[in-house]
Amino acid sequence: MILSRHKRFLCLSLLMLCMLAPLQLASGQKVTTLEILNADLTAFDVKIGKDARKLIGDVRLKHEDVVMTCDSAYFYPGTSSVDAFGNVKIQQADTLTLTGDLAYYNGATRIARVRNNVKLVNKDITLLTDSLNYNRSAGIAYYMGGGILTQKDSRLTSGRGRFILDSEIFYFMDSVVIINPDYTIHTDSMKYDTQTEISYFSGPTEIIGDERYIYCENGWYDMRQDISYVTEHAYMEEAGRILKGDTLYYEAERGFGRANSNVELIDTAENMTLKGNFGLYYSDQESAMVTDSALMIQIDGSDTMYVHADTLHSMQNPEFEEQSRILKAYYKVKIYRTDLQVMCDSLVYVEADSVFDFYGDPVLWSDENQLTASQMRLYMVDQQLERMQLNGVAFVASQKDSVSFDQMRGKEMTGFFKENKLERILVSGNGQTIYYATDQDVIVGANKTVCSDLTIYLKENQISRVVYTTQPDGIYYPLSMFPAEEALLSDFKWLEEWRPLTWEDVFIWK
């Protein structure tokens, strides 16, 4: 009874093995043998292994689609492997050639280890190293201890690397350097797609050209089209201009750049910086535009000017061959300098003439004076205020006390500055004035005058005298007798609450 049970168990076990055997063969990798195609001399050598053979002279072996040649070899039939010596060459179909001084190849694992003077050629790619392992099953070649890769005019060196044959993608690590006639790249690690010729960076990276320098800590570079996309502390310098941003995209052939988040464009020659969260740059036209919290910072001698607008656009002046720029700012413009503040809808600044044109209900503050008009033009010489023109309901006001304001109104005005302080104002057409007389800083009366043309002189930001060019029509009121309804000229408005008192205030808009 026990024997019968034992027999039944053996039969059942054998049946299961027979059923599983085909599945195991199907799921496992098929092992093929390593064949000897030729050798001038063949001998068994038990010193190197059981059934081992020594092959000498014009040795050729074949495994699947791989042919290996060498001067001599130790062949191990039991493991389908070989040690190859001298002028080793491994040829895989018509795609890959691998040469070296020494090699070990295992047909079961399909792994080749090649050493000394190793050279891998795959289409137009050549890799030189002293130690390379090639896993045919995984389609990966990898090296340690340094390698040199060349493709067309580019030469790459690195401490370590892997090559994925099917996708023709390289991974390089440790002190990666690419040298090309047009640029040099230094990076910590890089993925390189040989088909698209696009490099992907990771870690501190420098791209150095004759006229351009790029730094980043992440991104990619299209070597074929000369296009770069870099992130993380991204920085580009070209022709005296520096472009920064969280991300930078640049097409060298078009001279076009795009920057996002924490954007800075620095013109070192003009001591000017454009900031924002989105920017466009055209190197050929020497044009740059920033928006989203846009800010221009320009150092003027000992002072600094801050200009904010929805959009700032700096470009080369087409009327001048030499370096000269035009700045356009539009929508919700504010300017801060210690001696001058402005609010308007838009402006144009022409560097060659040092002229600002303000549009859209401009307001200018100079010390105690507020100037408004339909349009303003401001002239500067050597970063100093020289004169300004106000057209269309021009108005100047300054506050004497909480309820009293000196006022000047006219069709046109021209103001003159001395040492950046308003010194003299010419009023042309429909001139009207209200200014208060003081005695020991106490207001005692008010002068209200109508005169077509007049000149107002200021001293220490106060009206010191008025010269009437044509016959005036005016009256002096003791302060107690000055009618309240006469105290403000037509079109008077006091906008002190919108005056930027610090550079940060340029971002505050009514």
CA 300 vs CA 37, 279, 337, 362, 385: distances in Å = 83, 24, 10, 22, 11
Q: How far apart are CA 168 and CA 162, in angstroms?
A: 10
Q: How far apart are CA 361 and CA 346, in angstroms?
A: 9
| In a domain? residue 483 | yes
Contact at 8 Å (CB) between 346 and 360?
yes
Helix residue ranges, H only, 304-378? none
**Amino acid at residue number 474:** G
CATH code where residue 82 lies: 2.60.450.10
Model pLDDT, residue 182: 84
Model pLDDT, residue 31: 58
Residue 187's region, left for phi above 0, alpha for psi from -120 to 50, else beta, is beta
CA 398 vs CA 363, 410, 497: distances in Å = 13, 16, 14
Contacts of 460 (CB under 8 A, 6+ apart): none
Choose one of 103, 120, 137: the last residue of a domain. Answer: 120
Residue 469 lies in domain: 362-510
Q: How far apart are CA 327 and CA 289, in angstroms?
A: 10
Q: Report phi then psi at 131, rounded to 5.
A: -150, 115
Q: How far apart are CA 152 and CA 138, in angstroms?
A: 27
DSSP annotation of 289 reads E
| In a domain? residue 89 | yes
Q: How far apart are CA 197 and CA 334, in angstroms?
A: 47
Q: How far apart are CA 361 and CA 42, in angstroms?
A: 100
| In a domain? residue 176 | no
pTM comes to: 0.77
Number of domains in the chain: 2
| In a domain? residue 306 | no
Model pLDDT, residue 195: 87
Q: What is the DSSP string of 93-121?
A: TTTEEEEEEEEEEETTTTEEEEEEEEEEE
| In a domain? residue 340 | no
Residues in the chain: 510
Model pLDDT, residue 492: 93
Q: Is the dihedral of CA 458, 461, 463, 464 positive or negative?
A: negative
Strand partners, 188: none
* Encoded tokens for 144: 């340690």
Q: How far apart are CA 373 and CA 150, in angstroms?
A: 67
Choose one of 66, 85, 120: the last residue of a domain. Answer: 120
| In a domain? residue 164 | no
DSSP annotation of 157 reads E
Choose one of 120, 153, 184: the last residue of a domain. Answer: 120
Strand partners, 199: 192, 221
* Encoded tokens for 498: 């919108």
CATH code where residue 493 lies: 2.60.450
**pLDDT one digit per residue (tens) for the chain, 510 residues:** 433 444 443 333 333 333 333 333 333 445 578 899 999 988 887 777 778 899 999 999 999 989 999 999 999 988 899 999 999 999 988 888 999 999 999 999 999 999 999 999 988 889 999 999 999 999 999 998 899 999 888 899 999 999 998 888 999 999 999 998 888 999 999 999 988 889 999 899 999 988 889 999 999 999 889 899 999 999 989 878 888 999 999 998 888 989 999 999 888 877 889 999 999 988 877 788 999 999 999 887 778 999 999 999 988 877 765 667 889 999 999 999 988 999 999 999 988 888 999 999 999 998 888 999 999 999 988 878 899 999 988 999 999 888 899 999 999 999 998 888 888 999 988 889 998 988 888 899 999 999 988 898 888 777 788 888 888 898 999 998 999 889 999 999 999 999 999 999 999 986
| In a domain? residue 3 | no
Contact at 8 Å (CB) between 175 and 147?
no
| In a domain? residue 474 | yes
